[in-house]
Structures are given as C-alpha cells and as structure tokens.
C-alpha cells in the first residue's frame, strides 16, 4: 500500500509536466493553425497584389472571391421567365461562388449574366456593352449578354460558371474609378478557357476607350486571346496571348510576327499583360499547375503612337475597344491593378490560381463531335417524336419516327455532329441525308440549309447545356443566348422563355427545349 502511494506521488509531477507540455503543444498547434489559416486567408489574388504595392482597382469573377475578406456579390443573373434578377455571391468570405443559388433561381428557364460586380470597392462593374464603332446584335445596337449556364466548371470541388462569350457578346464600363490613364502603369490578368477562341476581333479584357470607339494607337491596353493573324501573331498556329494596344494586336516589340510568343493550349489559361512608361510585358501559364512564362518583356512597340501610351481607362470584356464583337472565349476571373506588378507578385498570384483548383465540368448527355445521332423530344405528348427536316420545304419539325419507319424518314431524323461552324466549342448538326446542309435558324424557324456566310454559320451553331427539365440536354443558340432549340405545335424554332412570339410561350417551355441524344435512326 505504501509502495503504491509512493509511486503515485513520485509520478504525479511527471504526469503534470506531460499534461502541461501537451497543453502548450496544443496551444502552439492551434496558434500555428490559426496563423496558417490567416496566411491562407490573406493570399487571394488581390491580397497578393496589394502586398506587392500594386493593388487591384478592378476585380471580376463569376467563380470565387478575389480578396480573402470579400463576402459580397460576384455577378447578377436575369431570369427569362419573368425578368427577375438575382445577385450571386460567395459561400463564405474569400470563398467560391454560390452556384446552387443560380441553379435554383434559373431552374426550368434560362438566365443571362447582366452584371459582373467589381470586388475592389471602386464600383467598376461590367454591364451590357453599348454600341460604338460597331453595333451589337441586341436591341439598340447593344451586345448580347452571356447565358449564365453555358460554361460550367468546378473550382476547389465547387460547382461554378464562367462567362461564355459567343460572337456578339460583350461587357463594358466606360465610367470607371482608379483605372490607369495616359502612360500610367498598370497590370492585369485573366483566367480563361484556353480551348475556346477564334480569329475574330477581339476577345479582350482590360483597359479601353471611354467612348466605345477607336481613338487611335495606344488608347487601350488589354489582354487578347485568340488566333487572329491580322495584326500580330506568334509561333505555331495559335492561339496566342497578346496585347491589344489599339490598331494592333502585339505579340512582342514588332508589328506582325514575334517568334518568342508561343502558341498556348491549356484548358485553363492564365494570361497577363502589364505596361508602364516605355515598358510592357506578356506572360501566361497553365492555370491548373506550374508557373508563368514570359513571352515578352521590354520596350513599347517600335511603331508610332505607342510611346507614350494614351490609355483612357474604360474596362471591356469579350470585345475590342471600338465594340468590335466577332470574338469567342470564356472568362472566369480577372483583375486590373494600379502600378506595374513585379514578376514575383504575379508568380504568387499564379500559385494562388493553381491552388484554386479549376477543373472542367462536362455537360451530361451532350452529343459528341463526329458522332451520328438523333434527337428525341421529352415533352409528355411527344416522347416518340424526333427532330427532323421536311422533304418538301426543308423546315425542321418533330415527327413520330422509329426503327420501323421508312428509310427516308429515319435519315431525315439523323444528324452528324460537327464542331460548331460559328463557335468550335459548341456543335452544329449536319443533315445525314443532305450532306453539306445543316440545321440552322432563319427568322427563328429551324430548317436544313446550306451554310455559306458568317451569319449563317452562327445560325447553325448550338451550345449544349444541362437540360431545362432534367432530361437529356438543351441546345442554346450561339448568336441568341436566351433562345434554345424548341418544338412548338410540332414545328421547330429557337425560342426564349416567355418572349414576344407565339413559339416563345412559357407553357411547357422547359420540356419543349429538352432533348435526349439517342443512337442514330439511320
């Protein structure tokens, strides 16, 4: 008994010491964890730019917060069915977009992105671009707004949406606060879909003219992404990250070709441009992993009008400074800074972008380019009906068709899926029995026709999205983002939900615009 007591008494200080050490260790671990969390929380892109002495003066994203403390609005969507709007924010401060809020708000109808909010607090929000040197396709010469569900991705494992820019789509702010003007230094980056581009002018993000017109050499400074060779280009076949400085897409110091600017092909692309007095640079990299490569870093172009620069301080997305709107691309996030960022700061931002975890998100049930398919209606009245063309007048309709139907009927309801003629990230449907003719809309009616103009190629391009009724896919018009392939009284149209035409009727719109992609009937 005494021995046991003695051992217990002698061991007690050791036990107490062990407990004290454990407590200190736990406190230290908690402090370290809190410190780590605080460091991580303070390392979003605009936190990093601020720490580098070049703070963000505009910050736009539909996927995540670009400041660790930001807990506000990312973007706004407008619902087609009733015109109501909804601001989409983040799940938590410094976090990812609340895409579920958009999905609930837009369920059974379509939505357009109406505003990209500026997270910097300066009010540099992007809205529907007005007409300028070029007219847009929307009412009053404005550009189209992007369909809100057209570019699904995941970021950090969370569902999100990008801004899908088809030709004719564009955003702008001509009255900004704090954006560089004249020859003042600035930087900018954007995270883009590196597989969605074209050779049209101009898929830009950055600093542009305040009157939506071409005001001469050096009046804008933006990131450009695409494979245009009209003004400048780099090595390979493109696409390239270049700088749109007005009246010139520059891939380096010279007009035209610059061997040091490589073609890039990352699914998620980080593109960066920065400029100051007689100094500018282009950098790019894989937004999912790795660092930034410098394609050019040196003096302003050796052409008249670019030194000194005459920047005006508007902000554009998806268009050129004069509202040229023939471009295609997808935008996820981007900023403009005050001051010329160091490479070290940009490298830190790139590391943050890598850590954000961008990943593609396929549209379930979408048709595969190169395949032969048939498209079955999902409305309860018509589940044995397929989209086909008439033989008499080439108009598209739905009609009951099966494996036992005459061969001509089965062939008329069969399509070969091609890369989109007007936007290669979408699809076009070539008639199986009329090779060289495609499904297209003309005056909103769908028909099979020869496609031989820029407008016709866009008319024949459709972008698959999650089905409005959950069955199959819905097919959005590339050049009318609020309109989808729909059957109405057995004829086929591109139709909005609740528009001014009879075929825009809200009745059964979600069902009528949803199609199951099946094996080919012929």
- For the beta carbon of residue 450, count every other beta carbon within 10 angstroms: 12
Q: Is 452 a catalytic residue?
A: no
The question of whether 98 is a catalytic residue gets the answer no
**What letter would DSSP give residue 140?**
G
Burial class (CB within 10 angstroms; exposed 0-12, middle 13-18, buried 19+) of 263: middle
Each residue's pLDDT expressed in tens, for the chain with a length of 522 residues: 223 333 233 233 333 333 333 433 333 333 333 333 333 446 999 999 999 999 999 999 999 999 999 999 999 999 999 999 999 999 999 999 999 999 999 999 999 999 999 999 999 999 999 999 999 999 999 999 999 999 999 999 999 999 999 999 999 999 999 999 999 999 999 999 999 999 999 999 999 999 999 999 999 999 999 999 999 999 999 999 999 999 999 999 999 999 999 999 999 999 999 999 999 999 999 999 999 999 999 999 999 999 999 999 999 999 999 999 999 999 999 999 999 999 999 999 999 999 999 999 989 999 999 999 999 999 999 999 999 999 889 999 999 999 999 999 999 999 999 999 999 999 999 999 999 999 999 999 999 999 999 999 999 999 999 999 999 999 999 999 999 999 999 999 999 999 899 999 999 999 999 999 999 999
Task: Please check whether the domain covering 371-518 is classified as CATH 1.20.120.550.
Answer: no
Give the contacts of 339 (CB within 8 A, at least 6 positions apart): 53, 54, 55, 185, 186, 187
Q: What's this model's pTM, rounded to 2 decimal places?
A: 0.91
- Give strand ranges (E) for 287-371: 293-298, 314-317, 329-338, 358-360
> What's the CA gap between 163 and 147, in Å, rounded?
8
189 DSSP assignment: E
Residues of the chain with CATH 2.60.120.200: 45-360
Q: What is d(CA 374, CA 516) in angstroms, rounded to the nearest whole number? A: 8
Place of tokens 């979003």: 44
CA-to-CA distance for 459 and 300, rounded, in angstroms? 41
Fold of 45-360: Jelly Rolls (2.60.120)
Residues of the chain with CATH 2.80.10.50: 371-518
Catalytic residue selected from 47, 118, 322, 511: 322
Q: Are 67 and 74 in contact, with CB atoms under 8 Å apart?
A: no
Q: How far apart are CA 197 and CA 243, in angstroms?
A: 15
Catalytic residue from among 173, 246, 433, 511: 246
203, 231, 238: which is closest to 217 by C-alpha? 231
Query: How are beta strands 256-257 and 232-233 bridged, if at all?
Result: parallel
Q: Strand order in 171-173's β-sheet? A: 127-128, 171-173, 314-317, 204-208, 221-226, 240-244, 249-250
């Amino acid at each position: 008994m005494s021995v046991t007591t003695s051992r217990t008494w002698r061991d007690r200080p050791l036990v107490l010491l062990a407990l004290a050490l454990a407590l200190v260790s736990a406190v230290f671990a908690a402090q370290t964890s809190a410190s780590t969390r605080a460091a991580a929380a303070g390392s979003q892109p605009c936190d990093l730019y601020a720490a580098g002495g070049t703070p963000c003066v505009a910050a736009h994203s539909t996927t995540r917060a670009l400041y660790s403390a930001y807990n506000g609005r990312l973007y706004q969507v407008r619902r087609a069915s009733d015109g109501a709007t909804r601001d989409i924010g983040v799940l938590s401060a410094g976090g990812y977009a609340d895409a579920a809020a958009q999905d609930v708000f837009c369920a059974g109808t379509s939505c357009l992105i109406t505003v990209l909010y500026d997270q910097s607090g300066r009010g540099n929000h992007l809205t529907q671009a007005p007409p300028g040197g070029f007219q847009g396709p929307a009412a009053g010469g404005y550009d189209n707004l992007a369909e809100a569900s057209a570019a699904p991705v995941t970021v950090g494992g969370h569902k999100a949406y990008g801004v899908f820019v088809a030709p004719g789509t564009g955003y702008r702010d001509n009255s900004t606060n704090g954006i560089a003007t004249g020859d003042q230094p600035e930087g900018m980056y954007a995270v883009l879909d590196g597989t969605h581009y074209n050779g049209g002018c101009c898929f830009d993000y950055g600093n542009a003219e305040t009157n939506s017109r071409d005001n001469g050499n050096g009046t804008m400074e933006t990131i450009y992404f695409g494979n245009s060779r009209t003004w400048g280009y780099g090595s390979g076949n493109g696409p390239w990250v270049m700088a749109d400085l007005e009246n010139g897409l520059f891939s380096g110091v010279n007009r035209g070709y610059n061997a040091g600017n490589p073609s890039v092909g990352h699914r998620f692309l980080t593109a960066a441009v920065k400029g100051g007095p007689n100094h500018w640079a282009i950098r790019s990299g894989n937004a999912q992993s790795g660092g930034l490569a410098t394609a050019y870093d040196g003096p302003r172009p050796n052409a008249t009008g670019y030194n000194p620069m005459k920047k005006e301080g508007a902000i554009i997305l998806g268009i050129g400074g004069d509202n040229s709107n023939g471009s295609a691309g997808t935008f996820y996030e981007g900023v403009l800074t005050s001051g010329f960022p160091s490479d070290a700061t940009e490298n830190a931002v790139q590391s943050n972008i890598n850590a954000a975890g961008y990943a593609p998100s396929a549209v379930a049930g979408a048709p595969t380019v190169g395949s032969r398919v048939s498209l079955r209606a999902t409305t309860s009245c018509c589940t044995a009906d397929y989209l086909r063309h008439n033989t008499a007048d080439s108009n598209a309709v739905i009609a009951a068709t099966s494996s036992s139907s005459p061969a001509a009927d089965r062939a008329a309801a069969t399509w070969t899926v091609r890369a989109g003629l007007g936007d290669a990230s979408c699809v076009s449907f070539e008639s199986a029995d009329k090779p060289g003719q495609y499904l297209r809309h003309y005056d909103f009616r769908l028909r099979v026709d020869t496609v031989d103009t820029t407008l016709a190629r866009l008319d024949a391009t459709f972008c698959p999205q999650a089905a409005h009724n959950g069955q199959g896919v819905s097919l959005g018009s590339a050049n009318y983002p609020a309109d989808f392939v729909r059957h109405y009284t057995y004829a086929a149209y591109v139709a909005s939900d609740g528009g001014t035409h009879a075929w825009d009727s809200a009745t059964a719109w979600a069902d009528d615009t949803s199609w199951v992609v099946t094996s080919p009937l012929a």
